[in-house]
Amino acid sequence: MVHLITNKRHIQKVFDRQSLHILPFLASLCTITMANRNDKPRLTPEFQSVLTFLYKHPDVTTWPDHIPLATSNDNILRCTSNVIPTDLSLPLLITDACSNWPATHKWSFKYFKQTYGNDIVLANDRAPARRHDAMPLTTMTTMMPPSSTSKHQQLLPQRTLSTTLSSYITQHIASDNDDTQFSFADYCTRKRGEIDTPFYLNGWRAFSSHPELFTDAPCIPTFASNLDNTLILLEALDRTLFPGQQQQHQQQERQQSWIHNVNTSLSKLFLGPPGTVTRLHYDAGSAHGWLAQIKGRKLFVLYPPSATVYLNPLKTEIETVQSPIDPLHPWNKEEGEEEGERYKKEGKPIAVIVNPGEAVVIPEGWWHYAVSLDESITVQRNFYHANTNAKGLVQMVLKTAAGLKKGGG
């Protein structure tokens, strides 16, 4: 693949234009329906599932048996920022991850509206994007694993809203003008039966366009300092690909270069009302990831890589790995106890609520699902670690650059 990359300028051009931005790429793959004002409210299967779940477990303290809540250090390690294991064999819950970041007192929906309100953003009512959502039913039935339940087989293309950040916040966030936190129950009360699937501003690359945000939420926080070797790995890759171009005077140029752009593009923001869902998937490019809650709580359900066979990865998805299983309602009632036992034994799901100030670190290949329980602001970063997934970074960079070059990018 290396031979497709002719020179450094090409790579620089590719990443300077932030061509890593996934949305135009996904738009070309999926039939994405743009939302408009006259759309009728609609419930996606996964949001319907959230409504049913939270109706039964409104305070999220009574817990269903089929989603074991992480309690011990057997399945998720609870730790503080200064005591972090580096083998990344299990997910981590870092209890003091971001409680002292300026973002926790500075950021609010009102602040984002005032500061970056003119940015054009894309919000979705199904996330992540799946080709599967827009598949003709006939094609889909041949591609779906037989054990998937019928509720997963609905033809419901993702709707995407392209708007200014200001108008997204005004129309979709209840606390757009104050700093109150709205829970899911508040949200439902305000909607008075007009419940529509919430639009999620998922994966906003705010750090690429507004790098000053890193002063409020550090790119490499204390808890990630021994885990996130992305920048060093990118510099090593740069030296390997372009030997003899490493003079001192080029250092500054490199700071502004593709290395910087790739590194920054791995940090994103997720903003939304309560009830937004990220469906079950694991991160592309063998990446590890962390998600830090600045505002609101999020419920995560995680599964180890060994659950992959059981989770029936969708064959329709090529660039990403996604599962049709809905962790809140993973099997049909008719399928009964036996299926439930099998699910718990083979899937080994772990649920964890991440509170404001906390972060979850999700190692490479771990499946994850998330639903916001309140209005929420999350910082998300994918990262690479020299001893575990460095190869994934090299492949990701080379593949993106080669693919874009081939496509005339």
* Residue ranges binding ligand AKG (CB under 6 A): 270, 278, 283, 289, 291, 298, 368, 370, 378, 380
- As a whole number of angstroms, the distance between CA 382 and CA 84 comes to 17
Residue among 380 and 388 whose Cβ is closer to ligand AKG: 380
The distance of closest approach from Cβ of residue 257 to ligand AKG in the complex, given in angstroms and rounded to an integer, is: 25
Residue among 237 and 291 whose Cβ is closer to ligand AKG: 291
The distance of closest approach from Cβ of residue 295 to ligand AKG in the complex, given in angstroms and rounded to an integer, is: 12
Distance of CA 279 to the CA centre of its chain: 9
| Rg value, the chain, Cα | 21
Residue among 140 and 224 whose Cβ is closer to ligand AKG: 224
- As a whole number of angstroms, the distance between CA 249 and CA 113 comes to 40
The distance of closest approach from Cβ of residue 383 to ligand AKG in the complex, given in angstroms and rounded to an integer, is: 12
| 101 neighbors 254 (Cβ within 8 angstroms) | no
In Å, how far are 50, 67, 137 from 154, measured between CA atoms?
17, 24, 8
Which of 367, 161, 163 is closest to 280 using CA atoms?
Answer: 367
The distance of closest approach from Cβ of residue 370 to ligand AKG in the complex, given in angstroms and rounded to an integer, is: 4
Which of 390, 20, 397, 392 is closest to 227 using CA atoms?
Answer: 390
Residue among 4 and 284 whose Cβ is closer to ligand AKG: 284
Residue among 125 and 283 whose Cβ is closer to ligand AKG: 283
In Å, how far are 78, 97, 298, 357 from 94, measured between CA atoms?
6, 5, 14, 9
In 10 A of CB 50, how many CB atoms? 25
Pairing of strands 92-94, 267-272: unpaired
The distance of closest approach from Cβ of residue 203 to ligand AKG in the complex, given in angstroms and rounded to an integer, is: 6
Measured over all CA atoms, what is the biggest interatomic distance in the chain, rounded to whole angstroms? Answer: 69
Which residue, chain included where needed, has tokens 């984002």? 112
First to last CA, the chain: 16
Residue among 289 and 356 whose Cβ is closer to ligand AKG: 289
Residue among 81 and 382 whose Cβ is closer to ligand AKG: 382
- As a whole number of angstroms, the distance between CA 245 and CA 382 comes to 28
Residue among 149 and 380 whose Cβ is closer to ligand AKG: 380
Cite the DSSP H helix spans in 173-331. Answer: 184-191, 206-209, 230-241, 250-255, 258-265
Which residues sit opposite 398 in a β-bridge? none
The distance of closest approach from Cβ of residue 76 to ligand AKG in the complex, given in angstroms and rounded to an integer, is: 15
The distance of closest approach from Cβ of residue 369 to ligand AKG in the complex, given in angstroms and rounded to an integer, is: 8
The distance of closest approach from Cβ of residue 375 to ligand AKG in the complex, given in angstroms and rounded to an integer, is: 13
Taking CB atoms, the residue at the shortest distance from ligand AKG is 278
- As a whole number of angstroms, the distance between CA 370 and CA 275 comes to 10
The distance of closest approach from Cβ of residue 275 to ligand AKG in the complex, given in angstroms and rounded to an integer, is: 11
The distance of closest approach from Cβ of residue 223 to ligand AKG in the complex, given in angstroms and rounded to an integer, is: 17
User: ∠ CA 247-253-257 to the nearest 5 degrees?
Assistant: 120
Residue among 121 and 402 whose Cβ is closer to ligand AKG: 121
Residue among 130 and 368 whose Cβ is closer to ligand AKG: 368
Sheet harboring 159-164: ordered strands across? 33-34, 159-164, 120-124
Please, how many CA atoms are within 13 Å of residue 125, restricted to the half-sphere of its CB?
Answer: 25
